[in-house]
């Protein structure tokens, strides 16, 4: 059976070059980067080389990079750490309604700790309006966090414009760039942000390693207390192989970015054009042009995402869905709901995300596999039956 992985937004594989670069640091150069002997020196050099490469990817300085264990940790660290450090100035924070849970839930935790939270809405394309951010700002706003691009619907936010208006108030601005760093050009200076999160497993690096870029001078409360690693901001023995992998993946992503964007966009556009033309009542979610290169997300009406996902998996196709049934919490994607998509439509959400192994044949395979799957589930859907009856009734 053909196997087509179309879930690169969930995670990417580790590139062979990245794995090669990592391997020596498990077995031979296994020293602790804090140790003051040759073993330690080797590990430390590797960590610093990785730091330089990550800084280079996003246009920052090496000393502004703090390694973490994931994008989630970077986001938790930024939201809680920056808010706690600024609380003498105020207790109001602002996030968008479609943030990743690692931002949203961190913000809600802060609310429990006595901070005040404003969620900025998005439009039907998942876009944050900078004016809406301005309206949400108060004298005591200390932190604003808006994601660079949404992982579910692919919408890329006007971060530069938002950062500009936030900066005027003196509040700090963080962006969750987990979906964009290593995928599309990200430059911290151009974006004008104060803090930025990224994760290696979104661009062919290993899982379990990420980074927080924190602008020089920005104060943050450490998330993990302990030793002096990462300037005392993030204690814990450095995960040397993972950091090396992140660095190598960053280097390759930067060098290969243009061609990756071209390839993924072409596949994305083919699916975005093809699926709604082959299947009725399929809508593309997210923005038409301000969109991640590898993101093709849809809502298929009258049927549910998990059932589609299972039948696709049966044909060797791996995708994601934002339906209630696919979430442990049994709630439809907060992103789709925030975009004003009705619950029953959001239940039919499907996300195809492209990556390095994909070809045009993969898209064709999906375009052939989907119609019978949708048809099969619609034949047993009471919603579809009702819709057809309504149509007949309307025609009379």
Residues near another protein (CB under 8 A) are 302-304, 306-307, 310, 313-314, 323-326, 328, 330, 332, 343-344, 347, 379-383, 385
Residue 203 and residue 173 in contact, taking contact as beta carbons nearer than 8 Å: no
CB burial of 53-73 (b: ≥16 within 10 Å; e: otherwise) equals bbbbbbebeeebbbbbbbbbb
Integer Cα distance of 283 and 310 in angstroms: 20
CB of 300 to another protein, least distance (A): 12
| 59 dihedral zone (left: phi>0; alpha: psi -120 to 50; beta) | left
- Bridge pairing between strands 141-145 and 92-96: parallel
Could you tell me the two tokens for 133? Answer: 């951010």
Nearer to another protein, 14 or 308 (CB): 308
278 C-beta neighbours (distance < 10 Å), count: 13
Nearer to another protein, 141 or 323 (CB): 323
CB of 122 to another protein, least distance (A): 20
Residue 325 annotated as catalytic: yes
Give the 3-state secondary structure of residue 203.
coil
257 C-beta neighbours (distance < 10 Å), count: 18
The DSSP letter of residue 149 is B
Nearer to another protein, 175 or 326 (CB): 326
Query: Containing H/E element for 41?
Result: helix 38-58
Residue 73 and residue 103 in contact, taking contact as beta carbons nearer than 8 Å: no
Could you tell me the two tokens for 181? Answer: 């760093």
The closest alpha carbon to 177, from 222, 216, 146, belongs to 146
CB of 134 to another protein, least distance (A): 33
Place of tokens 């709630």: 331
Name 120's bridge partners. 96
The DSSP letter of residue 266 is H
Tally the C-alpha atoms within 13 A of residue 31's C-alpha that lie toward its C-beta.
Answer: 16
Nearer to another protein, 313 or 359 (CB): 313
CB of 314 to another protein, least distance (A): 7
Nearer to another protein, 84 or 339 (CB): 339
Residue 171 and residue 163 in contact, taking contact as beta carbons nearer than 8 Å: no
CB of 120 to another protein, least distance (A): 25
CB of 385 to another protein, least distance (A): 6
Active-site residue, selected from the candidate residues 266, 310, 325, 388: 325
Query: Containing H/E element for 225?
Result: none
Query: CA angle at residue 356 from 25 to 316, to 5 degrees?
Result: 105
CB of 340 to another protein, least distance (A): 15
Nearer to another protein, 16 or 382 (CB): 382
Nearer to another protein, 189 or 314 (CB): 314
Active-site residue list: 325
């Amino acid at each position: 059976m053909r196997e087509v992985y179309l879930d690169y937004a969930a995670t990417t594989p580790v590139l062979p070059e990245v794995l090669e670069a990592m391997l020596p640091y498990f077995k031979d150069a296994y020293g602790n980067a804090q140790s003051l002997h040759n073993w330690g020196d080797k590990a430390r050099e590797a960590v610093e080389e990785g730091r330089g490469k990550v800084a280079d990817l996003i246009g920052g300085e090496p000393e502004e990079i703090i390694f973490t264990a994931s994008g989630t940790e970077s986001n938790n660290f930024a939201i809680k750490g920056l808010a706690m450090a600024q609380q003498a100035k105020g207790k109001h924070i602002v996030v968008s309604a479609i943030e990743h849970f690692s931002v949203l839930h961190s913000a809600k935790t802060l609310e429990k700790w006595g901070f005040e939270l404003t969620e900025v809405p998005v439009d039907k394309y998942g876009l944050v309006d900078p004016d809406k951010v301005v309206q949400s700002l108060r004298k005591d706003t200390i932190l604003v966090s808006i994601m660079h691009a949404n992982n579910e619907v692919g919408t890329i936010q006007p971060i530069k414009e938002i950062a500009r208006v936030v900066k005027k108030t003196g509040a700090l601005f963080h962006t969750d760039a987990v979906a964009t760093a290593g995928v599309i050009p990200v430059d911290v200076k151009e974006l004008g942000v104060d803090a930025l999160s990224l994760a290696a497993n979104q661009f062919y690096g290993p899982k379990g390693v990420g980074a927080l870029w924190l602008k020089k001078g920005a104060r943050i409360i450490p998330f993990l207390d302990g030793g002096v690693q990462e300037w005392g901001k993030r204690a814990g023995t450095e995960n040397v192989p993972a950091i090396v992998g992140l660095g190598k993946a960053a280097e390759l992503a930067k060098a290969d970015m243009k061609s990756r964007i071209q390839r993924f966009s072409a596949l994305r556009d083919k699916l975005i054009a093809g699926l709604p033309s082959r299947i009725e009542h399929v809508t593309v979610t997210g923005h038409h042009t301000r969109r991640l290169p590898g993101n093709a997300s849809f809502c298929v009406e009258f049927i549910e995402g998990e059932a589609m996902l299972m039948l696709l998996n049966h044909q060797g196709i791996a995708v994601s869905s934002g339906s209630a049934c696919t979430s442990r919490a049994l709630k439809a994607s907060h992103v789709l709901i925030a975009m004003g998509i009705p619950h029953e439509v959001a239940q039919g959400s499907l996300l195809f995300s492209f990556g390095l192994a994909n070809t045009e044949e993969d898209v064709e395979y999906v375009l052939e596999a989907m119609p019978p799957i949708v048809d099969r589930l619609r034949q047993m859907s009471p919603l579809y039956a009702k819709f057809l009856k309504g149509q007949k009734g309307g025609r009379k």
